[in-house]
Structure 1
Amino acid sequence: MPDASKREPPNKSTIAVLKGGPEFQSWFRRLQDQTRLPAALLLDASVVIYAKSIGFDEPPPR
Structure 2
Amino acid sequence: PYSFSSQVLVDGSGRICTEAGGWLVCLDADGKELWRLQAGFEDALGTPVPLSDGRFAVCSGTQLLIVE
TM superposition score normalised by structure 1: 0.24
TM superposition score normalised by structure 2: 0.23
Higher relative contact order (CA 8 A, sep 6+): 2
Higher strand share: 2
Higher helix share: 1
